[in-house]
């Protein structure tokens, strides 16, 4: 028997730059603050009634180790009867935390659960502690540069020569401009949980906004940036997400339990899918995962009215859009901007996509279905299809 699973609410800390405002902050404290902020916004939820907590981190050592799901649950002050566990699917960690708990809710094992993700890339530089098996290269399982995400983005440009650097830069600029516009309208701040932060020079402060956005970005400035992954390449710091710190948390429930408790319903989960591609072009992963999810749901891409695509690299988003015949500047795609502007603290980003989509659902009752999707290191993609609870039946 399968039950309907809903997203009740989602929040995140402001995202910081690696080495920036969270340089003196622990990763687990970021996660704890997100969980507490989520529960503070949902006072109808009895903390002892939470069935499980799944928290993701891509680097599970130090302040992101010791089973971050259980340790953050305890540190957040939840009853010790509430269990927790950690998840790792690299960039799609929080997305996988959501889908894993959703499966438990769908079969009746859980009623209410918390999913989230955290990444402190300042404390844990990407690739820290990795020990790739020599067989990867000796047996040619992957190319040598497949473990460098920027190099895989350059390979994606190679595969799709129509996706030029100019197109990638233009997309990146648009992400910055949309983010700035969303900030001006107060659309992003409403779901940011203020976070205490300590600067070595200035002392304690309260982080209330994202640190990475660069609203002053221009095409001329983007054109002049270095291409660190290949001489005369196309991937730059300007058309990629940065190295970031932050945490996200989402409250999930069965639809029946949400209605019983009078909780908000921000999105209804339809289906989800993960798929694999060659590790050398990992950014293409969202294409097959979306095809798979659409087939499971009995839908087509034309049924999707809103898209939240993680902007690990501009080329990765453009490859997705090109495959499905969607314009680079389609207004349905990332209306609040994306990771190129606000940042991509690896395992946390999946919930940020869901949070943005849920907010867009509120103002687009003519849209019935939305999609959150992202590429994943070592050649994977993840896609989740959601139904708008505010849908009025009047499809444009």
Tens of pLDDT, residue by residue over 3-16, are 999 999 999 999 99
Q: Do the beta carbons of residue 258 and residue 128 sit within 8 Å?
A: no
Q: What's residue 311's pLDDT?
A: 98
Residue 65 lies in a domain: yes
Least confident of 74-78, 204-208, 348-352: 204-208
The C-alpha atoms of residue 128 and residue 163 are separated, in whole angstroms, by 31
Residue 25 lies in a domain: yes
pLDDT category at 395 given cuts 50, 70, 90 is: low
Residue 161 lies in a domain: no
Residue 214 lies in a domain: no
Q: What's residue 202's pLDDT?
A: 72
Range of the domain at 299: 5-125+242-387
Q: What's residue 37's pLDDT?
A: 98
Please write the tens of the pLDDT for every residue from 91-117.
Answer: 999 999 999 999 999 999 999 999 999
Least confident of 123-127, 167-171, 323-327, 346-350: 123-127
Burial class of 297 by CB neighbour count within 10 A (0 to 12, 13 to 18, 19+): middle
Q: What's residue 2's pLDDT?
A: 85
pLDDT, mean of residues 307-324: 98
- Tokens 């989230």 locate to 116
Please write the tens of the pLDDT for every residue from 145-184.
Answer: 888 999 999 999 999 999 999 999 999 999 999 999 999 9
Q: What's residue 203's pLDDT?
A: 84
Residue 83 lies in a domain: yes
Q: Do the beta carbons of residue 308 and residue 182 sit within 8 Å?
A: no
Q: What's residue 128's pLDDT?
A: 87
pTM listed for this prediction? 0.98
pLDDT at 262 over 60: yes
Residue 370 lies in a domain: yes
Please write the tens of the pLDDT for every residue from 17-56.
Answer: 999 999 999 999 999 999 999 999 999 999 999 999 999 9
User: In total, how many domains does the chain have?
Assistant: 1
Residue 360 lies in a domain: yes
pLDDT at 1 over 80: no
Active site (catalytic) residues: 91, 344, 375
| Percent above pLDDT 70 for the chain | 99
pLDDT at 325 over 80: yes
Residue 217 lies in a domain: no
pLDDT at 396 over 70: no
pLDDT, mean of residues 320-338: 98
CATH number at residue 107: 3.40.47.10
Tokens of 278: 């060659």
């Amino acid at each position: 028997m399968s039950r309907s699973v809903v997203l009740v609410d989602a929040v995140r800390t402001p995202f910081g730059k690696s080495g920036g405002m969270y340089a003196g902050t622990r990763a687990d404290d970021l996660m704890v603050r997100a969980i507490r902020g989520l529960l503070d916004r949902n006072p109808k939820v009895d903390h002892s009634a939470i069935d499980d907590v799944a928290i993701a981190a891509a680097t599970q050592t130090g302040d992101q180790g010791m089973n971050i799901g259980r340790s953050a649950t305890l540190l957040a002050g939840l009853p010790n009867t509430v269990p927790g566990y950690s998840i790792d699917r690299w960039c799609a960690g929080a997305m996988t935390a959501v889908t894993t708990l959703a499966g438990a809710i769908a079969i009746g094992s859980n009623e209410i659960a918390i999913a989230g993700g955290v990444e402190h890339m300042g404390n844990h530089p990407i690739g820290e502690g990795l020990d790739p098996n020599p067989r990867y290269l000796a047996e040619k399982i992957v190319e040598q540069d497949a473990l460098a995400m920027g190099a895989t983005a350059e390979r994606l440009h190679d595969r799709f020569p129509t996706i030029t650097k100019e197109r990638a830069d233009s997309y990146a600029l648009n992400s910055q401009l949309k983010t700035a516009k969303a900030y001006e309208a107060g659309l992003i701040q409403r779901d940011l949980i203020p976070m205490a932060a300590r600067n070595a020079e200035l002392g304690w402060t309260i982080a209330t906004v994202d640190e990475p956005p660069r609203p002053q970005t221009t095409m001329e400035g983007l054109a002049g940036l270095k291409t660190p992954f290949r001489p005369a390449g196309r991937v730059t710091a300007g058309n990629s997400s940065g190295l970031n710190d932050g945490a996200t948390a989402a409250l999930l429930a069965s639809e029946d339990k949400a209605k019983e408790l009078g909780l908000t319903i921000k999105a209804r989960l339809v289906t989800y899918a993960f798929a694999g591609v060659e590790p050398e072009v990992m950014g293409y992963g969202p294409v097959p995962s979306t095809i798979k999810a659409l087939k499971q749901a009995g839908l087509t891409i034309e049924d999707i009215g809103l898209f939240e695509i993680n902007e690990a690299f501009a080329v990765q988003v453009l490859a997705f859009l090109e495959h499905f015949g969607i314009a680079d500047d389609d207004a349905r795609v990332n209306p609040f901007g994306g990771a190129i502007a606000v940042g991509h603290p690896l395992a946390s980003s999946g919930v940020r996509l869901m949070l943005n989509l849920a907010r867009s659902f509120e103002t687009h009752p003519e849209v019935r279905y939305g999609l959150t999707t992202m590429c994943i290191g070592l050649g994977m993609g993840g896609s989740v299809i959601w139904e708008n609870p505010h849908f009025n039946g009047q499809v444009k």
